[in-house]
Amino acid sequence: MSRQSSRTGASKWKATRADRKLQKAKYKLAAVDGMRQRPPPDRAGSVRDNVSIYTTGSTVMRELYNPPIGYDTLTMQRFRDYLEETELVESFRRLMTLLLDRPELPYNPYPGLVQRFRQNAEAFHLDQIPEGKIHQILHNNLQESIMQDLFFVRGYDNIWGLSSILRVISPQQISRYKWLVDNMTPEPENLFSEPGYTNQVTVAMVGPCVFEGTFYQQVSNLQLRKEFLITGEDVKMGVSIFVNSVMAEIDGMYTNPRHLILGVNLPYGDNDSPTVTLMDFWDPDRIQQEKETFLQAMSDTVLSNKYIYMDGIFRVDPDVATYTRGQVQFGLNFISLSLTAGANEGLSSFCEYPMSSLHEGVFLNRSHAEAYLSIFSPQVDHFKQAETRAPVPHATAGKRRTTPGGHSIRSGRATAQSQTNRPFTGNQEQDVRTVRRHIHDRLSQLNPQKIRIDGFKLGDETTYGPFAWQITAPLKSYLQQKLAGHHMHAELFDSCYCVIILLLLERDSFERGLEVEIFRLLHGTAGRIYYLMEQNKSLRFFLKGFGSTKETSVLKEQMAKYREAVVHLLDSDLNVRSADQITVGKIILSQIDDLMPGSVIPFGSGHHIQTSMKTLKNLNWYCLTLLIQVVEDSLPRAPIFKEFVLKMQVTFPERAPRPITRHRQRSDPVGSDMETQVDHGMENDHIKNHERYVIDVQSCMNKDTSTSKQIAREAVLLRYLVDTHVDLVWHDFLLDIATGEHFPPNPYPLLVSILCQCAMRMDLCFERSDTITQRMWSAENMQLEDPDNHVYHIPGVDGHGTPSALAVLDTGAYVPLTETLKVFEQQSYIQRKGAYRVAICMAMCGPGILYGKMQPYLNEIELHEHIYIQGPPGCQGEAIQLFALIVYNHLSDLIKKEEIPVMGAYFGDGQTRWTWAEIMTKKNGFISECVAICSSKETVFMKAYVFLDLWRYVPVRKYFLFHFLTDDDVEAEVFYPDNPVAFYQSIFLSQDRAAFHYQNGGPKNGGSPMNGANTRTAHQFLNRMLGDAKLHCDWLTVHRGLLLRSLLNQDQYHIAEAWRMLHSMAAQIEYVIFMVETLQDLIQLMMEFIGHNQERFRNRRPPPPSQQPSRASKGTKRSKRSQVTPATAASLSSTAEIEGPINEAQLGRMTMIFQQKLVDVCKARISMAGSELANFLDAKLKTALEEDPYIDNFYLAYEDQTLFRLEEIKHMLRLLQDSIANDVHEASPIAKEVMEKIELPDLEELRPSSVASMTLNDPNMYRRTLVPQSMNTILE
């Protein structure tokens, strides 16, 4: 690339402002940088001294600058000290050296600078707590008990455990849960048992909550582990007693006045992946409906040495309504006692790892700690006859007797069983026998325990205790493998927990400083984002639990706490954040505010609960993108931790997270590799090539033969810095800090924000604004073809409307679209019926009219079909009936023709969908609902897909807008949300229909629609829309609105900046997100077609032509990882039987192209996303793909899991879109100035007054709500 072509965007910089700042601070910055300001300032020929920005090739000593007397003021001394303390100049100089030493210089240097300075910004947060204080926090003074290995924190005799754990806990935090633990501990007499058996339970706190207040700032999920100790003769009966005891506890939770049960998770193994553990979720209703199956499933879980997990909401304080999300884990230890001499006796632990509760948790009752430790300790004397263990005392009982050596002494025989445990009831006895039979069948299939003799014995098997190798080795191996299976960035904090336990198991095996690195990771920005996401999950638990109880006060409190946490982290003046993080915070807050009391949705209603659950789930996916990025910025400050995790991944490569490859079970519809290199819309070639543009330093040096190589090299580098404005950006940044009211504690977020904006300028400001405006403006091509009705058109094009709709129309893109959209024109409809006359005017509207030179991507097509019905006054009801019939006939005709895939019809807020099958089979019901919706003046629209560009399906949303005209020429009444802006965006395909619409649906004042009186209403509406978009930081919508504002005013102020926004990476990611939604809809349609076909085969009835299903894959071989839905359970035998409006080959090709585009936008330097994001999203997508075993084609699986994965990807991409759009907006001075004057809407009045009438042009309003049915957790 030549030096001339490398000059980009120079005209955009305000030279006068720069000169003014330069004069203001010429002495200040000379003192800071040591740079001499040479008169005249010839930047191209300037040289630098040996302490300024330089390259490794610079060896010539430079003349030093001697500042004038009196320059060294107190302010300048403080400024120099500040720069030295923050290492700002040193960091910038170091990065400049790395940049300028490269043989090839990037066209846009700013993304690289952003990536590196983000690490400096995060380092400030990581290093806030000194290392000495961290060591102090992680060191408690302990006191040993009379029992070996059992300790308690000095001054706190209610927390017991191993010394390794107790040293790093916060006893104050753990003590808060004392009452809850006691409340969740059953009395011995309330535990069920059988004659000859005893049943006891110990309760421990485990998981991250143990380290709350030390490693973890806060924990939102309390985990309690209940390990039952059952003694008796028959292990099968012991397991049966345990299962039914757990069932009794679960049953008791239904009526518990303090706690709520949300469900039970039962782990099971994946046959295709033995190392993967899946969860079978049972909600409370399902447990009661299928109780026998549930008991058997619990038995299988116990026999596979897994815990049973009960999730719920638990009250923490008996006097104050304070709740926490929690989980109770149930495990079994069985001691076999026999009356027969010589019979095998001993402990059978059905928990995952014996004694793991000691290494993972603490006990809040001394008796429980001693009893648990004694379970695994050798006994003082062997049993000579059958005896029972003394029951574990309740929390209020006295301490258990022990020998001086710490060994447990057992007393009491199995003669007083009724005094300790209660017998089962009659119904429970039946359950016990059922479970026992099931266990007998399962145990008969298990292999016998391996016998170890001679050299096969594993070391010294007589050692015992919690730190015996037989105890620690399996637990360490499990944690190491689990660590290797975590994604280092997305699952960093699961990895942190594993490393904490491994560190505490064997401190001497790890480098010093590891605990400090973990502490800082968990207290940095990444850790706080993780806590925010966990708090989000807890809020969803509360919504699930309290949503049906109508206790809205608890929900309000929890939602307010979540909002406060967002403000404190991302939108607080106390925490300096970069612009992208501030934008994320504002967007999250705006969505939370939409759910708070006072919004249009009644708080606590069923619709509010569902909307809140969906919104919060989406916000967590949204935050995951930010988490991956911040973790990437944090890991360089944790080298020991990172090295250890990488070592585990190398040691256990088979545990590395990777999607399972699934093969299609039927032949490929194409039979050869499909081409994936396509053009995406009308992308600008110059912008596309920015990623590849580089400046070859040596080539530029060779062009200058009149000077030495050293001077030629410096000339090239200086010219590069001048052309990219790096020197001016750095100068202005330092000047802003020096002249500010105070020095920011952390200057790097501000620098990162500025560099992000500069990256967007380099990418988009390569062309003058007036040149862009002149190229976009098409007004000179318009002609007034109907003066009476003020209809304009462009000669040779079937486009008719107002000047605002035609001013930037790209006829080259518009003409092919009109041919495609003719299928949506109603050719045959009821024009007269009795006293009623009908006219239909269809127009293309919305952002789709910008497609072409103004907007390179066609995300969707919006059609407005105005249906005018004239009839007698007062007969609106009959007219609405006729309107509903016209809509139904049109939809049924489209479905019957099978030319396009029809998704269905949507009513109201878009939550109610009528599928194509329902429309065809329930005519009366459809018409009745359509009449009801229209009568309430809500929205009615359909959604379908057209095939464009030979590779992709594009969504078409067609609104049916009913106007009722009366015979006495009174003003028409509209039965849809009014939108005065839509008239100025409508392009009709014929002049007469444009004129008819002007006469009956145009401006109420008459006259030219472009005069001030007529556009005033549109401007008022537009300002409300801009205010709402500003509130939600939807800058793409803002710039489209500002463009429309310019077109309404018939000026050109916002055209260039709108063009830049719509050509930015933000618009490109928006385009990818629309592709995701399209694939979701098409997969949903394919599933419906297949399900309909299978139903037809079962009934053996030939279908009507309108209900022929589409092409879809045969049933594929699936693992348990994804549940099989009825729509994919059976196979279809013939290609002809699955033909339909969706071409499977075209859908597969679109999937492959989408996958490539997804990776490209995430890896693009200008996206400035975390380097792991592309791989992470690609891996998520691959879990939903089926590959052809013989060629390289792949297809999305037709299952609910696919919809869920695509939904995840969509919301993770939205964060990238929002942050980049904000950077582009900040680099748009005209738009920024205008939006500063736009007032934010009043939250109390916003929803009913403006948003309800914005629905016709809001692309986000009617996105289909997904209800993923294949997920196995409470929150999904």
- pLDDT tens digit string along 1164-1223? 999 999 999 999 999 999 999 999 888 889 999 999 999 999 999 999 999 999 999 999
* pLDDT tens per residue, range 1140-1175: 689 999 999 999 999 999 999 999 999 999 999 999
3-state helix, strand, coil in the chain (%, to 5): 50, 15, 35
- Give the C-alpha separation, 993 to 986, whole Å: 11
Q: Which residue has the higher pLDDT, 384 or 710?
A: 710
pLDDT over 60 at 237, yes or no:
yes
CB within 8 Å of 672: residues ≥ 6 apart: 1191
On the question of pLDDT at 995 being above 60, the answer is yes
Distance of CA 1184 to CAs 352, 601, 1265, Å? 31, 34, 19
Task: Compare 941 and 601 and report the one with higher pLDDT.
Answer: 941
DSSP type of residue 851: B
Quick one: pLDDT band at residue 1114, thresholds 50, 70, 90?
very low
694 backbone dihedrals φ, ψ, rounded to 5° = -140, 160
Q: What is the CA radius of gyration of the chain?
A: 35
- Name the residue ranges covered by the structural domains of the chain: 3-130+693-768, 140-441, 476-651, 784-1027
Two structure tokens written together for 1009: 């629609």
Q: Which tokens sit at 1259?
A: 């692309």
Provide the 10 A C-beta neighbour count for residue 453.
6
- CA pair distance 259, 770, nearest whole angstrom: 67
Q: What percent of the chain has pLDDT over 90?
A: 65
Lowest mean pLDDT among 102-106, 965-969, 1143-1147: 965-969
DSSP state of 384: S
> What per-residue confidence (pLDDT) applies to 664?
82
pLDDT for the residue 89? 95
Tell me which of 21-30, 460-469, 682-691, 841-850 is least confident: 21-30
Look at residue 5 and tell me whether its pLDDT is greater than 90: no
Q: At a CB cut-off of 8 Å and minimum separation 6, what does 89 contact?
A: 32, 33, 83
Spell out the residues 6+ positions from residue 102 whose beta carbon is closer than 8 angstroms to its own.
697
Q: Is the pLDDT of residue 457 over 70?
A: no
Does residue 520 contact residue 637 with C-beta atoms inside 8 Å? yes
* Cβ-contact 1202, 678 below 8 angstroms: no
Secondary structure string (H, E, C) spanning 1158-1226? HHHHHHCHHHCCCCCHHHHHHHHHHCCEEECCCCCCEEECCCHHHHHHHHHHHHHHHHHHHHHHHHHHH
Q: Does 1247 score more than 90 pLDDT?
A: no
Angle among Cα 1217, 1218, 1222 to the nearest 5 degrees reads 115
| Alpha carbon distance 205, 224 (integer Å) | 5
Structure tokens at 270: 């994946």
On whether the pTM is more than 0.85, the answer is: yes
CB-based contacts of 794, cutoff 8 Å, min separation 6: 778, 781, 782, 783, 806, 809, 811
Token pair, residue 222, equals 């309390």
| Residue among 613, 594, 611, 604 nearest 1247 (CA) | 594
| 988 SS3 class | strand
CB neighbour class for 525 (10 Å; exposed up to 12, middle 13-18, buried from 19) = buried
Residue 165: partners with Cβ closer than 8 Å, 6 or more residues away: 210, 358, 359, 360, 361, 362, 504
Average pLDDT over residues 734-755: 93
Rounded Cα distance between 21 and 559, Å, is 47
> Average model confidence (pLDDT) for the chain?
84
pLDDT-derived band at 443, boundaries 50, 70, 90: low
pLDDT digits (tens, 9 = 90+) for 646-667: 999 999 998 887 777 888 877 7
Q: 944 in helix, strand or coil? A: strand
Mean pLDDT over residues 420-434, rounded?
A: 60
What pLDDT does 440 receive? 54
**C-beta separation of 262 from 541 below 8 A:** yes
**Which residues contact residue 938 at a Cβ distance below 8 angstroms, ignoring those fewer than 6 apart?**
907, 908, 909, 976, 977
Whether the predicted pLDDT of 384 surpasses 50: no
Mean pLDDT within 28-50: 37
**Distances 878 to 319, 802, 892, 930, 964 between C-alpha atoms, Å:** 62, 33, 21, 13, 11
From residue 300, give the alpha-carbon distance in Å to each of 207, 263, 294, 1133, 1235.
Answer: 24, 18, 10, 37, 62
1022 in Cβ contact with 1047 (< 8 Å) = no
423-437, 499-513, 728-742, 953-967: lowest mean pLDDT where? 423-437
Pairwise CA distance, residues 1102 & 555, whole Å? 52
The phi and psi torsions of 491 (rounded to 5 degrees) equal: -120, 35
97, 53 contact by CB (below 8 A): yes
Residue 939 one-letter amino acid: T
Residues 6+ apart with CB under 8 A from 999: 789
At which residue do the structure tokens 């709520």 appear?
260
DSSP assignment of 525-568 equals HHHHHHHHHHHHHHHHHHHHHHTTTT-HHHHHHHHHHHHHHHHH
1100: region left, alpha or beta (phi > 0 left; psi from -120 to 50 alpha)? left
Q: Residues with Cβ < 8 Å from 775, sequence gap 6 or more?
A: 853
954 contacts 943 by C-beta, under 8 angstroms: no
Q: How far apart are CA 271 and CA 781, in angstroms?
A: 67
Q: How far apart are CA 737 and CA 71, in angstroms?
A: 18
Residues 6+ apart with CB under 8 A from 941: 905, 906, 957, 958, 959, 960, 1262
